[in-house]
Structure 1
Amino acid sequence: MKLLKFRMAGWLIFALALSALIFALAPNQIPVSLYKINLIAMAGVVGYWLDRSLFPYARPDSFLFAETPHDTSVDGGSLDFDLEVAVQSNVLFATAQIRRAIIVAASMIAVGLGA
């Protein structure tokens, strides 16, 4: 079954079921839910770009050694990338990824608490 192979399909079904429940119990709250979802999504984008602009020379992909795809099929197949971290850069690569995740999460939390 193709739907079950979709990443996080269970959570998508759960979110749609909750949305249907909100629509059945309080249909006037649907615009509020859409507004909050939009705010959180935009906060994630702003957090990502904030990280890119604050640390232009320490982006996570700058510590990768090679990014050449093994399989470049475009017929619906996924690309299999070989992501080798450059020698002596494992800690820097992990730190850059964690830093970006923290900045994006902090911006989403800040917007979520303020909305």
Structure 2
Amino acid sequence: MLTFPKCPRLFGWLIVTILLLVAIAFLAPQQLPVSLYKLSLVSMAGVVGYWLDRSLFPYARPDALTDYCAVDDIESLEDLKLDEGENPEPILAEFDTRANIVFGLAMLRRAIIVGCAMLALGLGA
């Protein structure tokens, strides 16, 4: 059976972008430098927004929050006195839900900061 190698994420969008650049080059070659300039500005704004988020919230990185919440909560369960035969699963589920909410909010915060940086630079250029 013939198998194809797995394409990287967003590979289809890369192909569409290249096709659009080729179309711009044929239809309006004088606009190609402008398009590349704007693309570089928006890409740079994304990187600046990401590093701005990391600088403003050094201890609230999304990838570190889930590990921190999970480890902190599991360690606190060891100190919890449960009656004999009591099931700790609902407590674990509550801690897991809280960790997921913290993780989700940190990712949302980062997306908003990066998006605003990209929008600000895109509108200002």
What is the TM-score with the length of structure 1 in the denominator? 0.75
Size of the aligned set, in residue pairs, is 96
* Residue 59 of structure 1, aligned match among 61, 68, 75: 61
Q: Relative contact order (alpha carbons < 8 A, sep ≥ 6): 1 or 2 greater?
A: 2
Aligned equivalent of 1:73: none
Q: Give 1:89 deviation, angstroms.
A: 1.9
- Matched residue type, 2:118: M
Measured against aligned partners, the alpha-carbon deviations of 1:61-90 in whole angstroms (never above 9, x if no partner) come to 221328xxxxxxxxxxxxxxxxxx624422
Judging by fraction of residues, say which structure has more strand.
1
Is 2:51 aligned against 1:41?
A: no
Q: Distance in 2 between matches of 1:55 and 1:65?
A: 16
Aligned equivalent of 2:79: none
Judging by fraction of residues, say which structure has more helix.
2
* Residue 104 of structure 2, aligned match among 70, 90, 94: 94
* Residue 9 of structure 1, aligned match among 11, 30, 46: 11
Q: Distance in 1 between matches of 2:12 and 2:100?
A: 33
Q: What do you get for the CA RMSD once the two structures are aligned?
A: 1.8
Aligned equivalent of 2:119: 109
Q: Distance in 1 between matches of 2:65 and 2:58?
A: 13
- Matched residue type, 1:109: L
Larger Rg: 2
Q: Give 1:20 deviation, angstroms.
A: 0.6
Q: Structure 2: where are the runs of 5+ without partners?
A: 71-94
- Matched residue type, 1:49: W
User: Displaced runs of 4+ in structure 1, greater than 3 A?
Assistant: none
Q: Distance in 1 between matches of 2:61 and 2:16?
A: 34
Q: Distance in 2 between matches of 1:8 and 1:14?
A: 10
Decide whether the 8 Å contact of 2:66 with 2:102 is kept in 1: no
Q: Percent sequence identity over matched residues? A: 56
